[in-house]
Structure 1
Amino acid sequence: MKMTKKAITLSLGLVVMGSASFAQSLDDAKKAIDAEQYQKATTMLKSLVQSQSKKGDNYYYLGEVYLKRDYIDSARAAFNQGITADTKYALNYVGLGHADLMDNNAASAKTNFTKALEMASRKDHTPNLYVGKAYLAIDKPDFESALPNLQKADEIDAQDKDAETFLALGDYYALQRKNSEALSAYMRALSINAGLHRATVQIGKMYKESRAFPDSETELKAVVTADPNYGPAYRELAELYRQWADFEPANAAAKNAEAITNYKKYLDLTDKSYESRLRYAQILFYAKDYKTLEEETSAIATMNPNDPKNLIVLRLRGYSAYENGNYPQSLQFMNDFFAKVKDTARVIPEDYLYLGQAQLKNQQDSLGIINVTKALQKDSSKAVVLADLAKSYYDAKNYEKAVSTYEIANRFNPNGKGSLYNLFYQGVASYIYYAKGYAAKTNPSKEVLKKGDAALANLLKTSPSTVDALMYRARINDYLDNEKEPTGLKLPFYQQYLDTVETKTDQSAVMKRNMVEAYNQIAGFAAYKEDKAKAKLFWDKTLALEPANAIALEGIKSLTAPAPKAQPKKK
């Protein structure tokens, strides 16, 4: 988690909150910290420093809570007051060093850590332990500096009385994905303190990351059974179900519902911090609970308006508004997102996708296609969006836009989900667009036909049984042929269609109409080439299916009468 500097008013000597509401022992405060109940722990520790003002450990743990809540300046104040209150208590110097690390001041951190270690008794392992933990707790853990301190803590605690040492060693290995070593350390921690829930949660987390989902569930459920109020276990259960959903699509809806339920429990048991609510919003997005997501992100946006992570909130507001049909609002959010994002490396394919979709819904078609295409350049699986758009153009009889949109979708998704339909409709839309332009004498380009024919050819390579593609290849090639001296480019495709369907016993009405078209086209071209026998053969086949077919009747009649040579009519 990236830390940001914050400051809150700190008056340790004057502020006492809830002293009657919470137990006043340091152990209770430490349990609250471990359960990630930081506001509760803060209140307890403020009460403790008021009632036990000479005890340096109260100040130290108060400072640590402030660091966990990103209040670095307040933490420093607590540590410094702890040093004043108890000059012999070493951990407040560790706390100052930890704050230095969060401020990226490694030199000052080392100075404070050295001071702490020099003050410590030779039999006290805790300064080394907490120095090691500090090096692990920062954004980019310093493993090289952490390990010697953790090993020294283990050496000093020769009787293995403190489970926290092995918990920290487990974290050291787990953060480096050294799961075998981490598991061994966590198990040693549990052998010392079987009720150390943090260790069991970490074991469950490791199982999740290894995709051993049932084992992870067993470990985490054991914690909530032992302590139904231990929030971190619910958070990890939520993360488990969220990841599990991706690996079991058939059960994804149920797993995502479990993720939401468990994360809500986590929030209810902890402080509902900005960070935790932001993660909840992300889980809502993956679970497709867009209504709740829109409500949640609207609330989060007011919590920390200057936090850099508010870009993520803005992104999710754009996504959820779009999914809920609030297209103008979605476009506003996505435009704001792109205006504020400074590092283009932070832009993901979904950002371009939702911006493009919002633009399309707001009649900004050209911009929309540009941005959806940018999404496809980063992730071709998003092609389904353009395919849906192309089909909407096709259904609206806007064949020009359908052709151009299908062309982009097929370029990025030639073999993926829905690609066969996309290739087919590109071919059909190309034929209709050209035929209409030809009839209207608008001189359409034959390049559209060539691309449409290529799309159908690709379709037939994968699915040769798609006989309707053969019909459209025949029709397209009729237009592609030389108009003055046709060579019969259409004939092979009409014949392939007939070869496929003539033997079928369950010919549909559409098949029979197509067969009539094919017979007439083959017969017409044969007559053009003065092959009267072949022409009569195929016109007779037409009449066998459709006795009153005017084209066939007129064609057979023409075979016995002299007539000027004429090219076949285009269908």
Structure 2
Amino acid sequence: MKMISKIASVALGLVFIGSAVFAQSLDDAKKAIDAEQYQKAKGMLKNLTVTQPKSDENLFYLGWVYLIQDYADSAKATFTKGIALEPKSALNYVGLGAVALAANDNAGATSQFNQAISVTGKKDDQPYLYIGKAYLMDAKDGKFPPAKANAAIDALTKAKTINPKDVDVQVTLGNAYRSQLNSNAAYDAYQGALTLDPKSVSANVATGVLWRYAHNYEDSEKQFQAAIAIDPNYGPAYRELAETQKDEAQENIKVASAKIKEAVENYKKYITLTDESLESLLRYADFLVNAGDYTTLQEVATKLSKNANANARVYRYLGYAAYENKDYKAGLDALNSWFTKATPNRILPLDYYYLGRLQVAAGDTTKGIESLKKYADLDTNKVQDAYADIIAIYKAKKDYLNTAKAYDEETSKVHKPLVTDHVYQGIYYYFSFSSKNPDSTLLVKADSALSFAQKAMGDKVPPSIYQYRARVALLKDGDVNNMKGLPLPYYNKIIEYYTANPPTSDRDKKDFAEAYAYLGTYAQYHDKDDAKANENFTKAKELNPDSKQANYYFEQKNGGAASPPKKASK
């Protein structure tokens, strides 16, 4: 019996030792959330809600993880359960406010946040901290509206006043300032965090991101390496290092290839440290889009699509990758699915760009152009990219008028002088004018665009500008019996230019000859000066033996009966 009793005692002791080893605290779960190990954190928190069924705080953090993972319904249900357990649970009211923000219900969010504050203790900074995080979580496409960033800063400043030694508050406050490009305030907040805890990996990583914003890639990488030295398993450090290397690659072509390879490897490291969860794979997919690695993107997206619980965003990645890998039908099917499944606030401008390209590739240029214009309207920094595609579509169809209009729309939307595009705008308006479309306003638009380009070029105007302004003026000049001389100033400029810079190509010689031919015609019909006409037509013929105006003049002098060419041909 004694032996059995001893064995039982040993066994019982092992049970308690095992429980101590495998026990997981709320602090462990919070560390996992900070390290973006969301699956791991969720498992811990679900276990804690069973072992500690009366803790409303556990329910809050579980709901917070759901919200981070974009499962708003599960988050709301969990926060509501926390309030049912403890009606004065300030954090769970904050959680409901964060859910409202995610649904663009600003009034509902404010109401829930106010309720949270009303039940918050005087020495409790955590509700204010998470109100700040909620506003920062509400970023769309990585951008924080100033009003929400300011609301976050107000809440976080209150949290800092209550507890100036909270490192998480300092880091989050720095993030809020950084979102508004207030680098000095962000740096002060991060340094405050590092003063409180020099081994704070999140503060080191946040400082590294700030250096990246300043394009100081060397110091940025050093800061991430410092974080990795403190905790080699802190995934976000590898992700931000990868983002920094990607940005440096895009900015410096000399290191681009090597940096992109390093970036992809570091991002893979991040994935392995974050459980390869659906959420981390989705972030990896976003990174691959920005890095331009569409082969890997297709692999990751295909892997995600096989998971029954995959976020609908997988269709976005499948669409992007399929387009870049020239699988247009699959890409269009995927993006159509994304637009069907996604709520409007989840659609990115880039989604319309790829949708438009895929529609064009599938032969539907009308819808494709509509989507590309939508992209330009939603992202004003990408107007030129969108219109480059639109213009290429019209050019391929030899649709001169719509090509001109597309250039016109582009130059009106971009707030900088697109000189070359104004030139093409003018040229295509010129070519749009014809006997089938004798709309004189097209000539006005053509000359206006060319005039803008000429003024923008100052004293470095190429002869092609004068050439097309002369041709536009020629169409308004009347026939040889009613010449006004409208093209004269431009043809004189061409002669002046080529006299100083003798043409060498046949194309330039023909343009030079065109100027002399007009001067010859003007002298012949307007000035009735045959000597001057002869001189100019001789120069035209020397430069271009096939000049119609010059050949007609000399045939006429030699007794020919040909009809005079009325206009210079296009």
TM-score by length of 2: 0.71
- Deviation of 1:269 after TM superposition, in Å, equals 0.8
Match of 1:281 in 2: 285
- Deviation of 1:501 after TM superposition, in Å, equals 0.6
Match of 2:238 in 1: 234
Q: Which residue of 192, 195, 216 maps to 1:188?
A: 195
Match of 1:465 in 2: 461
Which residues of 2 match residues 23-34 of structure 1 at below 5 A?
Answer: 23-24=21-22, 26=24, 29=28
The 8 Å contact of residues 330 and 358 in structure 1, kept in 2 or not, is answered as yes
Task: Tell me which moved more, 389-398 or 139-148.
Answer: 139-148
Once residues 547 and 156 of structure 2 are traced to their aligned partners in structure 1, the CA distance between those partners, rounded to angstroms, is: 90
Letter in 1 for 2:65: R
Residues 1:201 and 1:305: Cα distance change in structure 2 (over 3 Å): same
- Provide the secondary structure at the position in 2 that maps to 1:271: coil
- Deviation of 1:534 after TM superposition, in Å, equals 1.0
- Deviation of 1:411 after TM superposition, in Å, equals 3.6
Which residues of 2 match residues 5-154 of structure 1 at below 5 A?
Answer: 23-24=21-22, 26=24, 29=28, 35-40=35-40, 66-70=62-66, 97-104=90-97, 128=124, 137-139=133-135
- Provide the secondary structure at the position in 1 that maps to 2:275: coil
- Provide the secondary structure at the position in 1 that maps to 2:500: coil
- Deviation of 1:218 after TM superposition, in Å, equals 1.3
Q: Deviations over 1:522-563 (max 9, x none)?
A: 212322232111111112223444678775365246458799
Letter in 2 for 1:477: A
Once residues 377 and 192 of structure 2 are traced to their aligned partners in structure 1, the CA distance between those partners, rounded to angstroms, is: 45
Match of 2:421 in 1: 422
Task: Tell me the percent identity.
Answer: 27
The 8 Å contact of residues 466 and 494 in structure 2, kept in 1 or not, is answered as yes
- Provide the secondary structure at the position in 1 that maps to 2:326: coil
The 8 Å contact of residues 135 and 143 in structure 1, kept in 2 or not, is answered as no
Task: Tell me which moved more, 60-69 or 374-383.
Answer: 60-69
- Deviation of 1:500 after TM superposition, in Å, equals 0.7
The 8 Å contact of residues 94 and 130 in structure 1, kept in 2 or not, is answered as no
Which residues of 2 match residues 233-272 of structure 1 at below 5 A?
Answer: 233-242=237-246, 244=248, 255-272=259-276
Residues 1:64 and 1:217: Cα distance change in structure 2 (over 3 Å): farther
Match of 2:443 in 1: 449
Once residues 369 and 81 of structure 2 are traced to their aligned partners in structure 1, the CA distance between those partners, rounded to angstroms, is: 56
Q: Deviations over 1:89-141 (max 9, x none)?
A: xxxx7996533431345588579866xx9xxxxxxxxx947666555554568
Once residues 290 and 22 of structure 1 are traced to their aligned partners in structure 2, the CA distance between those partners, rounded to angstroms, is: 46
Match of 2:497 in 1: 500
Letter in 2 for 1:103: L
Residues 1:151 and 1:398: Cα distance change in structure 2 (over 3 Å): closer
Match of 1:532 in 2: 530
The 8 Å contact of residues 253 and 287 in structure 1, kept in 2 or not, is answered as no
Q: Which residue of 191, 194, 201 maps to 1:197?
A: 201
Which residues of 2 match residues 320-399 of structure 1 at below 5 A?
Answer: 320-339=321-340, 343=344, 348-378=348-378, 379=380, 381-391=382-392, 393-394=394-395, 397-399=398-400
- Deviation of 1:221 after TM superposition, in Å, equals 0.5
- Deviation of 1:317 after TM superposition, in Å, equals 4.0
Once residues 82 and 349 of structure 2 are traced to their aligned partners in structure 1, the CA distance between those partners, rounded to angstroms, is: 45
- Deviation of 1:420 after TM superposition, in Å, equals 4.0
Q: Deviations over 1:377-412 (max 9, x none)?
A: 441642344335434543554434433433433443
- Aligned residues: CA RMSD: 4.6
Residues 1:222 and 1:77: Cα distance change in structure 2 (over 3 Å): same
Residues 1:246 and 1:47: Cα distance change in structure 2 (over 3 Å): same
Residues 1:249 and 1:477: Cα distance change in structure 2 (over 3 Å): same
The 8 Å contact of residues 430 and 443 in structure 2, kept in 1 or not, is answered as yes
How many equivalent residue pairs?
Answer: 504
Residues 1:249 and 1:21: Cα distance change in structure 2 (over 3 Å): farther
Once residues 194 and 483 of structure 2 are traced to their aligned partners in structure 1, the CA distance between those partners, rounded to angstroms, is: 83
CA radius of gyration, larger in: 1
Q: Which residue of 515, 518, 523 maps to 2:515?
A: 518
Q: 5+ residue gaps in structure 1?
A: 1-18, 84-92, 118-126, 155-164
Once residues 26 and 448 of structure 1 are traced to their aligned partners in structure 2, the CA distance between those partners, rounded to angstroms, is: 75
Residues 1:38 and 1:547: Cα distance change in structure 2 (over 3 Å): closer
- Deviation of 1:326 after TM superposition, in Å, equals 3.3
The 8 Å contact of residues 300 and 313 in structure 1, kept in 2 or not, is answered as yes
Once residues 532 and 306 of structure 1 are traced to their aligned partners in structure 2, the CA distance between those partners, rounded to angstroms, is: 84
Letter in 1 for 2:466: L
